[in-house]
Copies of this chain bind each other. A is one copy, B any other.
Amino acid sequence: MTSAATRRIDRAEAQAVLAAQPFSVLLGTRLAGFGDGTATLELDFRDDLLQQNGFLHGGVLSYAADNAITFAAGAAAGPEVLTAGFTIDYLRPARGAVLRARAEVVRAGRTRVVVRCDLTVHPADGGPGMLCAVAQGTVSVAGG
């Protein structure tokens, strides 16, 4: 029997969920990787995503962390997941062309999944990224 906690979703389902999030559409978020308890989201820097000093707004980074954490949990525990909370530590101002949030499940329990996330910024030419924030969060599994 397949429980909510063990049925994993595939990349197409994850892509459909992301496309069904109007806020992710507004920010232009892409699913850049998915599976095996990991999820990678990306979005391009845009003028309307910045703060007053020209860096990516911290709220964009926290959104990306929140969402990548949720998707990574979905990759491990199925669609009935809800982020319970997370912590983010900013490391340096985020400037570049692309923000990437890569989340990886640390432990998937029956009712609770713990996930870590690295946030990196990348130049337009695809050069090496720079770590700009790290996050750690907990996702609740419904019916777990």
Chain A interface (Cβ within 8 Å of chain B)?
Answer: 17, 20-26, 47-52, 57-60, 62-67, 70, 82-92, 106-107, 109, 111-112, 114, 116, 131, 134-136, 138, 140
Quick one: closest B residue to A17, CB to CB?
Answer: B52
Q: How many copies does the complex hold?
A: 4
Whole-angstrom distance between the Cβ of A89 and the nearest chain B Cβ: 4
Whole-angstrom distance between the Cβ of A139 and the nearest chain B Cβ: 10
> Could you show 9 A-B contacts with beta carbons less than 8 Å apart?
A21-B51, A23-B49, A57-B67, A63-B63, A84-B89, A85-B87, A85-B89, A85-B90, A89-B106
Majority-rule SS of A interface residues = mixed
A63 CA to B50 CA in the complex, in Å? Answer: 12
